[in-house]
Structure 1
Amino acid sequence: MLPLLQGTVFLLSSCFPAGGGSPLSEGLWLLKTEFALHLYRSAAAERNGTNFVISPAGVSLSLEILQFGARGNTGWQLAGALGYTVQDPRVREFLHTVYTTLHNSSQGIGMELACTLFTQTGTSLSPCFVEQVSWWANSSLEPADFSDPNRTATEVSEDTSGQSTGEGPGNPLWGQAGALSTRLSIMSTMTFQSTWQKKFSSMTSQPLPFTCAHGLVLQVPAMHQVAEVSYGQFQDAVGHEVDVLELLYLGRAASLFLVLPQDKDTPLDHVEPHLTARVIHLWTTRLKRARMDVFLPRFRIENQFDLKSILRSWGITDLFDPLKANLKGISGQDGFYVSEAAHKAKMELSEDGIRASAATAVLLLRRSRTPAFKADRPFIFLLREHSTGFVFSIGRVSNPLD
């Protein structure tokens, strides 16, 4: 199985003392894809050419939950960042249907988008807010004691992963959560677990030469398959040529979308600024089925982001200001604001434990009449829900050995 777990934590504090397919479908697909690419570019700017993965689905879910409680300018800023508002009944109904569908697992596929609100004992929440959240994307409300960070972190870990690991996606924040002003934590998680539609074999004795930035060549563990895939060659807005490949997971419920510059001398940061939702949409509609040799490096990426700095750079400023935040819909009174926002993501790409002899891999490497897709230089990846195109996670691989 290929596991992926991503989480987002929002710590809400109070400044009062403690104790107190249709046009709509296509439009939302474009807006959510644009949000994912915006998040990608912001994360890329902080990572300076290194590997990273981030979950637009997890981040947007937390912002949607906040929209239920946001009013005035705070609500407008959230809507501006997302490009839509769940206060719109049409949007709310459509997204609710999509999220409900994602929870259905079949044929060895497990996908779930969930949100847990941990509330400090004694915190009063608006009944309307509680009802909306409980109905939204497998969300739930759980009690927490923010004065005991270790206990809360363990509770979070158990709630989001089903087992006690002693580490939750928001664990580094719990030291700050011990402040008496913290009243509520919003944690969203996106989990995905599946196998490939066509399984890879391992190139155990023949690693893939991978050219990193600045010409450094590394020998990296790789996997290989010969399969019918969706493939295309395109140009971005300024003429950079890229290879695009889409690989399906079991049951065709999700796919991995890869963008690889054709020229090894073209850095990813030359391509990244020109990726837009409409460009991705155009490329996906023009992919052709082709039988290809596919070579991918195995990789594992785990990282954490300070979402507060990213969201503030987008213009979401009132949310983090104790004097300006308007989250009156949460409790029916003024006082709540977001003190911290963090996101932790992890993704592992492998051949799913399948092993094949090196001789087979060497033989396939020598196939001269089969076109090849070799991810032997930095590339961008998007994990997408296949039918809607919603982006679960997005990231890049600059060095598979990091």
Structure 2
Amino acid sequence: MRRLLMTSLLLCLHLLESSHGNSNPGDREFALRLYASLRETENSSNLLVSPASVSLGLRLLMMGARGHTLTQLQGLLGYHTNNPQLPEFLSQPQGTMGNSSQGVELQLSSTLLVQSGLQLRPEFTQHALGWGNGSLLRLNFSRTNHSQGDHYGSGGPGPVALVTALTFRGVWQKQFLSSDTHTLPFSLSDGTHTKVPMMYQATEVNFGQFRMSSDQRYTVLELPYHGHALSLMLALPSDRKTPLWQLEAELSPRALESWESSLRRTKMDVFLPRFRFLGRLDLRLVLTSLGISDAFDPTTADFRGMSDEEGLYVSEVLHQATMEVTEDGTKAAAATAMMLLKRSRAPVFKADRPFIFLLRHLNTGSILFMGRVLNPAEQAL
């Protein structure tokens, strides 16, 4: 029985700067459902996922799906076609948005790795090569080395691997100064503390205060990246005794719409920890729980739109995301010191306890990356 390995890889994310906009309900619903499922299985650690990267990989897979397999993918992603289109902001030449010289770069690429000798339908190959700066490579997976086998999973890659990569690099609209970064306490979920490099700036941001269904308050802050096409949205409970899971449970399309319509420009003192994460996730069980079951079952998977050969199914969905938040988008090397900043009379947003983050494309509301910071001192790179 042949296996179809769909691997969703998010590479080289260096977080630093963006903006505001309208939502895409289907993409947003998928992103929040994906995050809700992940937070239940990854409930005691930092979490990072790129819903956009996962969605794009599934859309590429959808092009080759037929029958009930296609119906399940359409239901999860909110599409009623097996030939979905790329979001406009990712359909630029070479899959890029912005210009690295202007401080922001967003690039999508997709690679189709095919077992030598496996015949693909010409229509599928054409679609795949036109999908986000696509390319096709013929490989003999039986000759892959041990390190490659570890990368793709214990069983090694199957005859077809679909790989999507979404890369973002950017700088803040207003950069943090390394000289204003100091080592300060960060409260952990268990009540203990750790010391982390805490960035600081006094600036104008989009800010709002909200209430949970439990009547607990929380605050939302939006930091724009250069060019105002992308932004990093941060949310944390106002009371440090309120566990973050209560706020995570409030995440919904309606909540995000409320944030977008209610945030107001406010001059604030902003404290944000410097952090760097690497997230590796096996999404097979999560996607199965979200309704994608046939694709993983050798007896029910239907990928006749990809190849006439029978027996193709998805054996694994591997996802990798990296994220770095620093003062200006480069690796900061400034020394830190044990000292407190002089307080001003401006309101304060101080992310010195667990918080949620979302990196969004503002005009569409697409969530490119999202996750939570429970302990910024856990440097996973």
Letter in 2 for 1:103: T
Q: Deviations over 1:315-368 (max 9, x none)?
A: 211101111001110013432111111111111111125688979x85xx3233
Q: CA deviation at 1:240?
A: 2.8
* Higher normalized helix content (fraction of residues): 1
Partners of 2:180 and 2:201 within 8 A in 1: no
Residue 107 of structure 2 corresponds to residue 121 of structure 1? no
Partners of 1:31 and 1:277 within 8 A in 2: no
Q: Deviations over 1:54-95 (max 9, x none)?
A: 11011001110111111111111111221224437xxx35x3
The one of 124, 148, 155 equivalent to 1:176 is: 155
Letter in 1 for 2:62: Q
Worse-superposed segment, 55-64 or 199-208: 199-208
Residue 72 of structure 2 corresponds to residue 77 of structure 1? yes
The one of 269, 276, 295 equivalent to 2:271 is: 295
Note closer, same or farther for the CA distance 1:129–1:357 as it changes in structure 2 (3 Å cut).
closer
Specify the alignment match of 1:283 in structure 2. 259
Q: CA deviation at 1:172?
A: 2.6
Q: Any residues of structure 2 matched to 1:62-211 within 5 Å, and which? A: 62-87=57-82, 92-93=84-85, 95-101=86-92, 103-106=96-99, 107-150=102-145, 153=148, 172-173=151-152, 175-177=154-156, 182-202=158-178, 206-211=182-187
Q: CA deviation at 1:261?
A: 0.7
Q: d(CA) in 2 for partners of 1:75 and 1:41?
A: 23
Partners of 2:48 and 2:321 within 8 A in 1: yes
Partners of 2:119 and 2:309 within 8 A in 1: no
Q: State the TM-score, normalizing by the size of structure 1.
A: 0.82
Q: CA deviation at 1:384?
A: 0.9
Q: d(CA) in 2 for partners of 1:309 and 1:134?
A: 29
Q: d(CA) in 2 for partners of 1:236 and 1:32?
A: 24
The one of 18, 28, 34 equivalent to 1:33 is: 28
Partners of 2:355 and 2:373 within 8 A in 1: yes
4+ residue runs over 6 A deviation: 354-359
Partners of 1:236 and 1:275 within 8 A in 2: no
Specify the alignment match of 1:329 in structure 2. 305
Specify the alignment match of 1:213 in structure 2. 189
Identity %: 42
Letter in 2 for 1:215: G
Letter in 1 for 2:151: P
Specify the alignment match of 2:18 in structure 1. none
Residue 3 of structure 2 corresponds to residue 10 of structure 1? no
Aligned residue pair count:
354
Letter in 2 for 1:247: L
User: What SS is found at the alignment partner of 1:264?
Assistant: coil
Q: d(CA) in 2 for partners of 1:86 and 1:278?
A: 26
Q: d(CA) in 1 for partners of 2:364 and 2:163?
A: 24
Note closer, same or farther for the CA distance 1:269–1:41 as it changes in structure 2 (3 Å cut).
same
Q: Deviations over 1:1-44 (max 9, x none)?
A: xxxxxxxx716xxxxxxxxxxxxx96x71221121111112221
Worse-superposed segment, 331-340 or 261-270: 331-340
Specify the alignment match of 1:261 in structure 2. 237
Specify the alignment match of 1:272 in structure 2. 248
Specify the alignment match of 2:12 in structure 1. none
Letter in 2 for 1:47: E
Partners of 1:206 and 1:358 within 8 A in 2: yes
Q: CA RMSD in A?
A: 2.4
Letter in 1 for 2:173: Q
Partners of 2:236 and 2:247 within 8 A in 1: no
Note closer, same or farther for the CA distance 1:134–1:43 as it changes in structure 2 (3 Å cut).
same
Letter in 2 for 1:259: A
Q: Deviations over 1:199-234 (max 9, x none)?
A: 112367742221111211222111111111110001
Specify the alignment match of 1:388 in structure 2. 364
Partners of 1:96 and 1:137 within 8 A in 2: no
Structure 2: 5+ residue runs without aligned partners? 8-20
